[in-house]
Structure 1
Amino acid sequence: MSTAMGGPALFIGGDTTFVLLVRPELDPADPGVRAAAEQAGVSPEEFAGPGDVWALVVDDTFEADGGFELPGLRDAEADHFAEQLHTALGTGEPFTVEAGPVLRLDARPAAGEAYAFTAHVTPPEPEGAPTVSLEIGPLPLAPLLADLEDFRRSLA
């Protein structure tokens, strides 16, 4: 799945509670990007940047709203996380997968063909920032598996 900003994105959740792993790619021709670049005093191309920095966005109207950059994350690591998640979902058993020290997903089967998740998100800065735990789902298994496959294809 891709976002309005372009680039690969993995969305896990619903309308109000979710985690989103995304590598945004801004379009220098976009009027909003051009206006922001002008305000910042740089060219639209410079403002858009290379589009190689990953971000983790979290939203839970009760606990958190925002996200942070993951400057050291590489595409291969994002793909490995998605592969682990895809494989574990196929077992029908509870499991845990991690995306480094910033994201841990505890998953458990739910009624029907679905999984519920507890996402534990720990911002890398400031050091010692508290971990936010979000309850997500249950999410239907088939669309989740399809989204994981789409995400992995977008990285290839």
Structure 2
Amino acid sequence: MNPIAVSGPELVIGTGDAYVALVRPQIDPSDPGVRLAAEQAGVTPEEFVGPGDVWAVVWEPEDGEGDGFELPGLRDAEAEHFSEQLVTALGSGEPFTVEAGAVLRLDARPVGDGYAFSAEVTPPEPEEADVLSVEIPPVPTLTLLADLEAFRGSLA
């Protein structure tokens, strides 16, 4: 368990076992774990946490070998556009593909009352990095739509 409190907008597509997430972590400089880590690093808590405006892609496949990377060029407007594409596509009831730039591609297929996803995550560096695939089991469409609405609200 991470002793540092993190908050900020996050869009998680998947379940606790397998997911991809678009997140903009914000670390609280007053958190005791942050203060301790900053002290150990020899900087102020505010310097330690940084600006808190850098987006990241995080993933966890079913085998538990997840990771993540930062997307320093991504803006809130682009994250919102990605979420709008998802909302529109989910309303179709058909298979669809949406992309978040060159780093995240979601291929969705209807399953029962939801969608299953094949996600391709492409780290921006190094250029020869392998594309990572995450198979995401079905998630109910209503759950996805509620998560998207909460995500879009967190961007406001």
TM-score under structure 1 normalisation? 0.94
**Distance in 1 separating the partners of 2:50 and 2:88:** 34
Gaps of 5+ in 2: none
Residue 132 of structure 2 corresponds to which residue in structure 1? Answer: 132
**Distance in 1 separating the partners of 2:61 and 2:138:** 15
Asked if 1:123 corresponds to 2:93, the answer is no
Deviation at 1:143, TM superposition (A): 1.0
Q: Within 5 Å, give how 1:2-21 maps onto structure 2.
A: 5-21=6-22
Deviating 4+ runs (over 6 angstroms): none
Q: Is the 8 A contact 1:63 1:132 kept in 2?
A: no
Residue 43 of structure 2 corresponds to which residue in structure 1? Answer: 42
SS of residue in 1 equivalent to 2:6: coil
**Distance in 2 separating the partners of 1:50 and 1:95:** 35
SS of residue in 1 equivalent to 2:27: coil
**Distance in 2 separating the partners of 1:56 and 1:134:** 13
**Distance in 2 separating the partners of 1:116 and 1:139:** 6
Matched residues, number: 152
**Distance in 1 separating the partners of 2:18 and 2:26:** 24
Q: Within 5 Å, give how 1:1-156 maps onto structure 2.
A: 5-62=6-63, 64-111=65-112, 113-156=113-156
SS of residue in 2 equivalent to 1:124: coil
User: In angstroms, what is the RMSD of aligned CA positions?
Assistant: 1.1
Gaps of 5+ in 1: none
**Distance in 2 separating the partners of 1:68 and 1:49:** 16
